[in-house]
Amino acid sequence: MIYDSILDTIGNTPVVKLNHIAPQKQTVFVKVESFNPMASVKDRLAIAIIDAAKKSGELKPGQTVIEATSGNTGIALAMVCAAKGHPFVATMVETFSIERRKIMKALGAKVILTPASERGSGMVKRAEELANKHGWFLSKQFENEANPRYHRNTTGPEILRDFAGRDLNFFVSGWGTGGTMTGAGEIIKLARPETQIVVAEPENAALLSGKDWSPHKIQGWTPDFIPKVLNKDIADKFVPVSDNESIEVAKKLAREEGIFTGISGGASLAACFKAASDAPENSTFCVMLPDTGERYLSSPLFEDITDESDEQWLSNALGA
């Protein structure tokens, strides 16, 4: 297919059945958002916010855009801004993966790091300060209604279309801004009220479950506040997942299904497996996989994976 712009390739991501690691007597599909042009679900958020702001006149031609981001939103906004002629600045907690910074910079963005001690709130505050000082457009992903609205218009309908004529008993998503779980969840629930909306959370920061926030390794998920766009009431069940099980499930998905996702994708799938353990047999699950494992090369997801030759394995295992 031929497209007029890279932005025209956002969305319509594939839904893929798991053939090897799904729980017995359960059917699990994953929606692979790494098929978006910058390899994450946040491409949807970025095009939604920028298009809405340009249409309303809030974003002027050539105006600088700024956002607080764990990485994927910043990468997506950097792409959209490059394609539409806007400089982009990201504020980002210093602990998020280095590759995310480099990708944003490769797309022409500037990256301002904030101290880890200030958490997600710190990067948001810094973005607000810079926007006010310099007259930049602050995209406000955590409170911009264009975020969940785009998921109501695209992600949710895509899933409903793909599952037309099929069972869809559970929809599973994590939350960062809350845009995906809210927008897609609302539309799925509206069209198929019997579908259960399962929301995964880091067990160390399960805010929707009423727990306190503490640091966790699931990048992109659960800042130290509940975003304004998030509709908690859409959830039927909250499932806490640990850092370690999220990482292990992501690795297992890559090794045994050939699907390469990040820690957040592993976390969503881990929550699915937990929900499946007490779900009726022969239930069907659709699980959001937000991004690609390539965003995590410097993270704990890869800490036991080396770049050395496997010559020793060859000698030991095969006697060669």
Say which of 31, 40, 42, 139 is annotated catalytic: 42
283 is catalytic: no
217 is catalytic: no
Name the β-bridge partners of 7.
none
Burial class from Cβ neighbours inside 10 Å (0-12, 13-18, 19+) for residue 171 reads buried
Local structure of 212: helix, strand or coil: coil
Smallest CA-to-CA distance from 252 within 14, 15, 18, 17 is with: 18
Q: In what order do the strands lie in the sheet with 237-241?
A: 15-17, 27-32, 284-289, 170-173, 196-202, 237-241
Say which of 34, 139, 246, 264 is annotated catalytic: 264
Smallest CA-to-CA distance from 122 within 224, 228, 229, 227 is with: 224
How far is residue 146 CA from its own chain's centroid? 16
| Amino acid in the structure at residue 185 | G
Task: For the chain, list the strands marked E by DSSP.
Answer: 15-17, 27-32, 65-68, 88-93, 110-114, 137-138, 170-173, 196-202, 237-241, 284-289
Q: Catalytic residues, which ones?
A: 42, 264
